Amino acid sequence: MSVLVEQLTKKYDHQTAVDTISFEAQPGKIVGFLGPNGAGKSTTMKMLTGYIPPSSGSASVCGFNIVSQSLDVRKQIGYLPEHNPLYLEMYVKESLAFSADLHKIQNINKRIAEVIELTGLGREQHKKISQLSKGYRQRVGLAQAILHDPKVLILDEPTSGLDPNQLVEIRSLIKEIGREKTVILSTHIMQEVEAICDRVIIINKGKIVANDDTSNLKMLTSGSKIYLFEFDKEVLNDQLLTVEGVIGAELITGNNYKVTATEDIRGRIFEFAKANDLALLSSRQEENSLEDIFRSLTK
Ligand SMILES: Nc1ncnc2c1ncn2[C@@H]1O[C@H](COP(=O)(O)OP(=O)(O)OP(=O)(O)O)[C@@H](O)[C@H]1O
């Protein structure tokens, strides 16, 4: 196991930002660390990368303890912090050379050429960082993180603020890197987890509320069913909740309602419509999405 976290806790004054969490991550698998704002994602990543000490509990990276062997841990880890600080006045290659120097990398020019190729920075490699778009700056951040060929990559919200094209490109780059390395990335975007993560850990208020393969997690709520119903007129959510088996009702657009139920309620909704002088224009069952699971677990 390349990352092993046991009962890790971080307290800031009286607030417990990370509360006795335990999890593992292994090579060749991308772990998505998913949670709402303030859940404790960045705090966890900062502890794993040795930037802040834990209050209690322990964690190791490739067998090295994050507290007592933090220098060894840093050699094993490539870290892309949430607001990746870059030296804007430096040229791309210059900034990579600077990082390579810090890591005491041999054959610096060869390695820089390799990561430039890998992160698709070729066309932009002669520019100053201040001249780069956000997506390309993020590539520079990724290039810096992988320069010393670390076994573990910790990426804190690596795609935040990117446009849809850049998003797809950076995600596929992370997926490519994740084939060999252990990648832990934090995000609050469910689609990101669905697109690239093999496993997902959901954290809420400092505690882990789910930890499973992405595909298994989708089946977690298979006990409940989600339907989309369209009526010809407005219906009150409370009215829908009177139908037996309905546990949630939400207006989506127009007269379209998203209804969560414990069983198949289509027949009853048909009867409900008739009894209330409504026409049921359409009825569709939806697959449970990771988003629904996320919302139900982090309410
Ligand atoms: N240096 C600090 N001092 C005091 N409290 C802090 C500090 N850093 C974080 N916190 C608090 O700890 C909690 C967890 O914060 P953290 O940044 O880990 O959340 P996050 O899941 O990364 O959130 P986001 O998605 O918004 O980045 C928050 O309530 C935050 O206010």
Domains in the chain with CATH codes: 3-219 (3.40.50.300), 225-297 (3.30.70.100)
Q: What is the CA radius of gyration of the chain?
A: 23
Find the angle CA(46)-CA(182)-CA(9) to the nearest 5 degrees. 30
Mean pLDDT of 262-279: 93
Q: Decide: 204 in ligand 1 pocket, CB within 6 A.
A: no
Q: Residue 273 corresponds to which tokens in the numbers above?
A: 């419509």
How far apart are alpha carbons 63 and 158 in whole angstroms? 26
Helix (H, G, I), strand (E, B) or coil at 146: helix
pLDDT tens-digit readout, 227-252: 999 999 999 888 999 999 888 898 99
On whether the CB atoms of residues 115 and 83 are closer than 8 A, the answer is no
Q: Residue with structure tokens 């509320």?
A: 209
End-to-end CA distance of the chain: 32
Average pLDDT, the chain: 89
pLDDT score of 220:
59
Mutate-to-test residue for ligand 1 from 10, 15, 202, highest number of ligand atoms within 8 A of CB? 15
pLDDT for the residue 159: 85
pTM: 0.77
CB of 205 sitting under 6 A from ligand 1: no
ipTM exceeding 0.95, yes/no: yes
Q: How far is the CA of 42 from the centre of ligand 1 (A)?
A: 7
Q: SS3 for 272?
A: helix
pLDDT tens profile 18-36: 999 999 999 999 999 988 8
Q: What is the pLDDT of residues 82-132, one digit of tens each?
A: 888 888 899 999 999 999 998 888 899 999 999 999 888 999 999 999 999
Nearest atom (ligand 1) to Cα of 46: 18
Q: Could you tell me the two tokens for 67? A: 């507290």
| Residue 45 in contact with ligand 1 by CB distance below 6 A | no
Residue nearest to atom 11 of ligand 1 (CA): 17
| pLDDT band (50, 70, 90) for residue 214 | confident
